[in-house]
Amino acid sequence: MERTSSGIIDDPASNRFLVPRRVFTEQATFEREYAAIFDTCWLYLGHASELPAPGSFVTRKVARRPILFTRDRDGEFHALFNACPHRGATVCRERSGRSPAFMCLYHGWTFGSDGHLKTLPGSSGYPEGFKTDPQKQMVHVPRMERFGDFFFISFARDGEDLATYLAGAGDYLKLISEHSTSGMQIVGGTQEYAIRGNWKLLSENSFDGYHAACNHSTYLEYLKSANGALSATPLAGEAYDLGNGHAVVEYSAPWGRPIASWVPLWGEAGKAEIDGVYAELVGRLGEPRADRIAHKNRNMVIFPNLVVNDIMAITVRTYFPTAPDYMEINAWALAPREESEWRRKYRLYNFTEFLGPGGFATPDDVEAIEKCQQGYATAGDALYNDISKGMIRADAPSFDDEAQMRCFWREWDRRVTTAKVMADA
């Protein structure tokens, strides 16, 4: 039997993979996770389309830190800690917008989009050169890198570059960018909600093909009752280890996809448009890649907490824990810029009715996650979660096995075990 110091039992010889339930409830584990994972990994910040012009900005909270994501007058992107170097007040209080400068409400210090101090009231009371002192500027996040139009930040001052960290997940981000000839864009609006459960449960849930038939049966019945909303395509596919804790399930499914997978509900006019989109994909990318883009679905988790689900619509989702049993979620819709009004309408229908916090799927998932968290209070002899489905297979793991979750847990275990060793040293 192989047992790790975190308590995970990873025993391929006996087809056993068990995760101790205490890692979902312990405050000590939660603190180690922040030190070993959220303070060191590359974390998703935003998409280039959210800052379409110089002066654009958005504010985010990333791993408990307030971040100001800006584009300066020269078009350069910046990730700044949203705190005034004077007394620490939040500098920008708006969610998003355009502004060449940001003024702190407390004493009126004003900063440019690059974080440089521009003006301050009562400057005669300060020595010469005060305004250019490096310590008086807004602080940049230690590292920010870009992969295509996806921006990531890291609070660690050194470590592997973003492309190395993403490993095989990079090709899936590239695949999504290839949906469009003119670029992908975040569609206006953010879905925000919270779950009273441990964040790792949402990592598991986001690419768990096993729960769909049971937990989302209402959605599947709804599609069956909507004349023409389903094709004859079966749910079938595989799971792939993308390295560094990232994994994906890629599969066929019966629902329509506005990128280029038609269902009868959309009518003959819709079929003509979808056929045209598919022909363009084939001409630009070749048949195999066009077929993957149009006819396969992908649920991907980029470790630790970025979900990119390219299914009946595309959702980009992050979630950060504030306690062992509580997390805050943000999600955005991603779509081709040149998408017609008709396809955008169906994309957003799909996005809200399945993926949204008021849709069919997300409330099911929230309920399941919260019930799991409540169940962990039983303690006693029910000590482990079983994550072993598919370990007996000699061939590729199915999309409804749990191989992708084991990828996540092995990386989680590697990181928190190292953090524990460092803490004990």
pLDDT in tens, 48-97: 999 999 999 999 999 999 999 999 999 999 999 999 999 999 999 999 99
Average pLDDT, integer, range 250-275:
91
At residue 1, does pLDDT exceed 50?
A: no
Cα–Cα distance, 366 to 175 (Å, whole number): 29
Q: How confident is the model at residue 150 (pLDDT cuts 50, 70, 90)?
A: very high
Task: Please tell me whether residue 115 adopts helix, strand or coil conformation.
Answer: coil
At residue 425, does pLDDT exceed 50?
A: no
Q: How confident is the model at residue 104 (pLDDT cuts 50, 70, 90)?
A: very high
DSSP state of 174: H
The predicted-structure confidence for 264-276, as pLDDT tens digits, reads as follows 988 999 999 999 9
Task: Please tell me whether residue 20 adopts helix, strand or coil conformation.
Answer: strand
pLDDT on residue 235:
82
At residue 214, does pLDDT exceed 70?
A: no
Cα–Cα distance, 231 to 226 (Å, whole number): 12
Own/partner contacts of 216-219, CB < 8 Å, gap of 24 or more, are 216/360, 216/361, 216/364, 218/360, 218/364, 219/354, 219/360, 219/361, 219/364
CA quadruple 309, 311, 315, 319: dihedral positive or negative?
Answer: negative
pLDDT on residue 169:
98
pLDDT on residue 422:
46
Cα–Cα distance, 190 to 192 (Å, whole number): 6
Which residue is it, tokens 């996809």? 257
Average pLDDT, integer, range 229-239:
85
Across 146-160, 165-179, 248-262, least confident range: 248-262
> In sequence order, what are the residues at sequence separation of 6 or more whose Cβ sits closer than 8 angstroms to the Cβ of residue 147?
162, 163, 166, 170, 173
Report angle CA 190, 250, 220 to the nearest 5 degrees: 70
> In sequence order, what are the residues at sequence separation of 6 or more whose Cβ sits closer than 8 angstroms to the Cβ of residue 124?
none
At residue 139, does pLDDT exceed 60?
A: yes
Task: Please tell me whether residue 325 adopts helix, strand or coil conformation.
Answer: coil
Helix (H) or strand (E) holding 31: helix 27-33
At residue 212, does pLDDT exceed 70?
A: no
Q: Provide Rg for the chain, Cα atoms.
A: 23
Q: What's this model's pTM, rounded to 2 decimal places?
A: 0.94
> In sequence order, what are the residues at sequence separation of 6 or more whose Cβ sits closer than 8 angstroms to the Cβ of residue 400?
209, 210, 212, 235, 389
Quick one: tokens of 88?
């620490």
Across 127-141, 252-266, 323-337, least confident range: 252-266
pLDDT on residue 221:
74
Closest CA to 407 of 298, 251, 244, 297: 244
Contact call for residues 90 and 103 (beta carbons, < 8 A): no
Cα–Cα distance, 146 to 387 (Å, whole number): 34
Mean pLDDT of the chain: 92
CB atoms within 10 A of CB 63: 18
Contact call for residues 179 and 313 (beta carbons, < 8 A): no
Higher pLDDT, 223 or 7: 7
* Residue 14 buriedness (CB in 10 A; 0-12 / 13-18 / 19+): exposed
Q: What distance lies between CA 369 and its chain's CA centroid? A: 17
The residues pairing with 80 across neighbouring beta strands, listed in sequence order, are 68, 140
The predicted-structure confidence for 202-211, as pLDDT tens digits, reads as follows 999 999 877 7
DSSP state of 305: T
Q: How confident is the model at residue 5 (pLDDT cuts 50, 70, 90)?
A: confident
Higher pLDDT, 174 or 233: 174
The predicted-structure confidence for 289-311, as pLDDT tens digits, reads as follows 999 999 999 999 999 999 999 99
At residue 3, does pLDDT exceed 60?
A: no
Quick one: tokens of 62?
């990333």
Helix (H) or strand (E) holding 284: helix 267-285
DSSP tally for the chain: helices H, then strands E: 11, 21
